Each structure stands twice: as structure tokens, then as C-alpha cells.
Amino acid sequence: VMVNINPAYRLAELEYALNKVGCKAIIAPEAFKTSRYLDMLATLAPELAKAEPGALYAARLPLLRWVIRMEDVPTPGMLTFRELLARGANVPKTALDEITAGLDARDPINIQFTSG
């Protein structure tokens, strides 16, 4: 399920939203306007600096495992978006077909956290 996070969220709101939905992966840019997303994630998950990508275990974000950085800048504990796309190139079509077979048009696909 994709979860859209309000880009104006501050630290406490981001922590609440990620934990509320049991977020396992987040794709984030370094910053937008006055929000510094990677700094917020580093505050919420200082364990990220020493984690392998996909193996994050953070006390404040217990279900988050993956942090994907939009920019093509290698960062400890994170995959770049380009690296994520490259990993997808190795997924066999049969694996995608199996996933597709288990989907239902009535399944939820999106949760949006907004300002109101």
C-alpha cells in the first residue's frame, strides 16, 4: 500500500504517520522548500548511519527497513532510487505474474496523510 505523506510534516508528525501505517520503506528526496527529509529520518532513525540498506532496525521506527534516496548520492543505510530500479531489472516476469494473480481490484492501494 502506498502512503502519501504531507510534505509539510515536521518530525513528530512524520514519526506518527510512519508508525501508524507500519511503514516498511520510504522514498524521500533530501529536502523540499524548508523541509529537510533526510535530516528528519536521521533524527528518527540514527541507526540508519550504520545499517545496511534493507536491514534498518530503528527504535523509533520499528517497522521501517528501507530508506530510498531520490538523489543519486550514495548515503549510508540507503539505496538510491537508481539502485532500486536496477534491482527491479533482475526480477523475473513469473514473480511479477504471481504477485499480480494475488491482487484484487477492491484491495486498498493508497493512504493519504494530508493537512486536513
DSSP secondary structure of 34-96: TB-HHHHHHHH-GGGGGPPTT----SSSTT--EEEESSS---TT-EEHHHHHHHHTTS-HHHH
Distance CA 59, CA 48 (A): 11
Residue of 97 and 108 predicted with greater confidence: 97
pLDDT digits (tens, 9 = 90+) for 11-56: 999 999 999 999 999 999 999 999 999 999 999 999 999 999 999 9
Q: What is the pTM of this model?
A: 0.88
Asked if 64 contacts 18 with a C-beta cutoff of 8 angstroms, the reply is yes
How far is C-alpha 86 from the geometric centre of its chain's CA atoms?
Answer: 17
At residue 116, the pLDDT reads 64
Q: What residue ranges do the domains of the chain occupy?
A: 2-111
